[in-house]
Amino acid sequence: MPEVVPHPFLFRFSLPVRRSDGLPKRGKRLLDLSADFALPDLSELRGVRPIGEVRAAWNDEGLGFSVLVREKKHAPAAEERTPTMPDGIQLWIDTRNTQTIHRANRYCHHFCFAPTGGGRDGEQPFGIQLPIAQARETTTLAAKGSLLVNAEILSDGYRLEAWLRRDQLQGFDPAANREAGTPTKLGFFFEIRDSELGDQTLTVDASFPFANDPSLWSTLELT
């Protein structure tokens, strides 16, 4: 008998994110995060096989994410003019972690990153911020080309790294929270998009409106 409600919908997840000073790095790798920074994989709660591994880190200057996708038979493909299409990752972040709202406010952000499809030759990685549909408040979008992103194309996939500066995340201020003695918690959701392997989401799948409903997002706790 098919499940009426997916198991992840029944829980509120809080995922720890480790601090790493000195990010972003200079040179070929923006982050170079070890396995200690991997976010817990919740795919098995839905009985699906993950297609990628997501890692995250933070410091007072911003947030970093990396995704590793393997077992592809073809090179990744994406286009900057259609950033929500595969291949790549979408991130949703709420710097106030207000999980009781169903429409985004000015602290909610939507970013798309892809390992290819950008630049004049269409072969460079790119990142872009998009407005969230049906939002009751809007946030200032990051200027085109201002998001830090790099990628390594592998023989069977890719590694993609992205860094979000503090000024690109309205309301992100871990230092102020630390002075107030309160932990920094962020609303968070991701979707890995892949033209070969399918899609992978943090918790619920596309039958839920996670793209514009922050109440469906989980929590990142900056430790």
Q: Where do the domains of the chain lie, and which CATH numbers do they carry?
A: 13-222 (2.60.40.1190)
Phi-psi label, residue 2: left if phi above 0, alpha if psi -120 to 50, beta otherwise: beta
Task: Provide Rg for the chain, Cα atoms.
Answer: 17
4-8, 10-14, 117-121, 148-152: least confident range: 4-8
6-10, 23-27, 29-33, 177-181: least confident range: 6-10
Q: What is the pLDDT of residues 205-220, one digit of tens each?
A: 999 999 999 999 999 9
CA 109 from centroid of its chain's CA atoms: 10
Arithmetic mean of pLDDT, 123-152: 96
CA 192 from centroid of its chain's CA atoms: 9
For residue 1, what pLDDT band results from cuts at 50, 70 and 90?
A: very low
Residue 6, pLDDT > 60, answer no
Q: What is the pLDDT of residues 25-35, one digit of tens each?
A: 988 899 999 99
* pTM of the full structure: 0.94
Q: What is the pLDDT of residues 87-108, one digit of tens each?
A: 999 999 999 999 999 999 999 9
- Token pair 């946030």 in the structure block, residue: 139
Arithmetic mean of pLDDT, 46-64: 93
Arithmetic mean of pLDDT, 152-175: 97
Of 66, 189, 78, the closest CA to residue 132 belongs to 189
